[in-house]
Amino acid sequence: MTEALLLKKENRMADIVTTLIEMLGKGSVLTGEDVSSRQAGFFSRAPVEAKAIVRPRSTAEVSETMKLCHEFDQPVVAHGGRTGLVLSAATKPDDIVVSLERMNSIEEINSIDRTVVAQSGVILQTLQEEVEKHDLMYPLDLGARGSCTIGGNIATNAGGNRVIRYGMTRDMVLGLEVVLADGTVVSSMNQMIKNNAGYDLKQLFIGSEGSLGIVTRAVLRLREMPQERSTLLVAVDEFGKLPNLLKLLDSSLGGTLSAFELMWNNFYRLVTTEPALNSPPMSQDYPYYVLIEAIGAESEKMETTLQEAWDQGLIVDAVIAQSEIQRQQLWALRDDVGQAVRYLPNFTFDVSLRISHMVDYVEEVNRRLKERFPKVENFTLGHMGDGNLHFLVAPGEGDSSLRHDVEACVYEPLAEISGSVSAEHGIGLEKKPWLQISRSPEEIEVMRKMKRALDPKGILNPGKIFDLKS
């Protein structure tokens, strides 16, 4: 490249924000305080740092933005609802943010095919409420439903409360439209459940954390709205009884079991003691509490199964929701993880392991934490039915500089049992140093090859998940 061309490129690079404004319109590009006034993440009070936030209204505008950024090697980070917990959407001052917030249209709800076509910026709860008007259900559900977006759910392969029955996000996605790093639009808006015509390209982008392409539209699979739903909270006095309770419910309820949410005593006390707003629906003295939901189960069948669990000594107390309000009150216990921020510093974890290893693993983590931090609190809960645990660890001392020491206590024991450092939150920057616990060098190198093939300049969400250079 000649010196004149290099100078021209440098000058245009310095003025890329102006070029974006000219291309998309002033209202589509935020700068200055309009950028820094935004919060960087769910638990972060730090401001967003970036050259600009581009807010396209269409896939075509995302494509034009990426073509320009690709031409001038401009790093780009996609933003959805910014509810992620692993710094996957973290930015630097020289980054350009592409926010999908204005691409928030539900384009079609098809009651016959039981599908919905939605843009990436649609809020999960909005989608849920809209499809319910057609007596349909989008099964994905998680605590951040009121702010997380469909695009973000897809980028992280979100899990949530109903994985045990309906699977992760990837099990609900039929088709995608994605913009690649160079602006190429891959529109694979398949609307069929079965389609084995070659590679299933959408799977490359689901769970890729915006590092391979920017999802702009999706075809999602819906289910019929169930006429009945049973929700209850039970208490269990021994961990060893929990797997047997899970097996009993799953077999007796004919495949309708959708949630088996386990809460340790300390988490239950946290969310049912002031200043928490929830009142305890049963004694706070049991070691384990399980929030159970069966979507489509007849109430009589649930009561019969519950009686059987009681007769077998698997449960010691139970509360059954008698109304939608009571159902929401029980779920409010499980969703109130924000109570843990009363304890600072606090570190959030999301691990996956086989149920058969769960009790020993938790004991080992707590042993290590207690040995290192005598005043530690490890508030424990999780989607036990699909082998997913969450830890909210408050060391009781120090500040954020303790993160690595706490992470070592949580992640190192996973290596021996072939567990995963991330069940549903992703890797981002936060878990990047620990990826090798869950993925072999060969697997990571294949990931690098995929990244190099689709984003050879490394401009999409650079530095996240793994380093491009081995």
Q: Which residue has the tokens 């915006």?
A: 210
Q: Which residues pair with 236 in a beta bridge?
A: 288
pLDDT score of 221 more than 70: yes
pLDDT interval class at 10 (50, 70, 90): low
Q: What percent of the chain has pLDDT over 70?
A: 96
Q: Enter the DSSP assignment of 27.
A: G
Distance CA 292, CA 230 (A): 8
Position 210 confidence tier, pLDDT thresholds 50, 70, 90 = very high
Structural tokens at position 124: 């999960």
CA 163 to centroid of chain Cα atoms? 12
Please tell me the predicted confidence (pLDDT) of residue 9.
52
Query: Do residues 103 and 56 touch, judged by C-beta distance below 8 A?
Result: yes
Q: Report the distance separating Cα 141 and Cα 334, nearest Å.
A: 12
For residue 455, CA distances in Å to 182, 208, 214, 403, 448 come to 8, 12, 11, 31, 10
Residues 6+ apart with CB under 8 A from 340: 270, 346, 348, 379, 392, 394
CA distances from 246 to 187, 253, 290 (A): 41, 11, 10
Q: Report which DSSP code applies to 397.
A: S
Q: What local confidence, expressed as pLDDT, does residue 3 receive? A: 54
Structure tokens at 198: 């070659």
The tokens for 56 are 């396209």
Tokens encoding 330: 């029980």
Average pLDDT over residues 137-166: 95
| Ranges 4-8, 57-61, 145-149, 170-174: which has the least confidence | 4-8
pLDDT at 2 over 90: no
Q: Which of 410, 357, 447, 400 is nearest to 87 (CA)?
A: 400
* Two tokens, residue 314: 């698997």
In this prediction, residue 7 carries a pLDDT of 45
Q: Quick one: what percent of the chain has pLDDT higher than 90?
A: 92
Q: What is the pLDDT of residues 308-345, one digit of tens each?
A: 999 999 999 999 999 999 999 999 999 999 999 899 99
Check: CB of residue 352 under 8 Å from CB of residue 388.
yes
Angle, CA of 349, 354 and 356, to the nearest 5°: 120
> How close are the terminal C-alpha atoms of the chain, in Å?
28
Mean pLDDT, residues 14-34 taken together: 93
What integer pLDDT is reported at residue 453 of this predicted model? 97
Residue 78 pLDDT greater than 70, yes or no: yes
Q: Which run of H or E residues covers position 370?
A: helix 358-372
CB of 319 closer than 8 Å to CB of 233:
yes
Q: What is the pLDDT of residue 50?
A: 96
Question: Rounded to an integer, what distance in angstroms lies between the CA atom of residue 134 and that of residue 37?
Answer: 38
* Amino acid identity at 426: G
Express each pLDDT in 40-56 by its tens digit. 777 667 899 999 999 99
* Residue located via tokens 């021209």: 8
Dist CA 362 CA 237 (whole Å): 16
pLDDT band per the 50, 70, 90 thresholds, residue 470: low
Nearest to 87 by CA among 468, 461, 419: 461
**pTM of the predicted model as reported, rounded to 2 decimal places:** 0.92
User: CA-to-CA distance for 90 and 82, rounded, in angstroms?
Assistant: 9
Per-residue pLDDT at 5: 42
Set out the domains of the chain in order of their start, with CATH numbers: 3-99 (3.30.43.10), 106-224 (3.30.465.10), 229-337 (3.30.70.2190), 343-425 (3.30.70.2740)
Confidence at 152, pLDDT banded by 50, 70, 90 = very high
Residues 6 or more apart whose CB falls under 8 angstroms from that of 263 comprise: 288, 289, 290, 291, 333, 334, 380, 381
State residue 4's pLDDT score: 43
Q: Are 411 and 434 in contact (CB under 8 A)?
A: yes
Q: What are phi and psi of 360, to 5 degrees?
A: -65, -40
Q: What is the pLDDT of residues 52-69, one digit of tens each?
A: 999 999 999 999 999 999
Mean pLDDT over the full length of the chain = 94
> Across residues 246-252, what is the average pLDDT?
96
Do 361 and 318 touch, CB atoms closer than 8 A?
A: no
Instruction: Kindly report, residue by residue over 385-435, the tens digit of the pLDDT.
Output: 999 999 999 999 999 999 999 999 999 999 999 999 999 999 999 999 999
3-state percent breakdown (helix, strand, coil) of the chain, nearest 5: 40, 20, 40
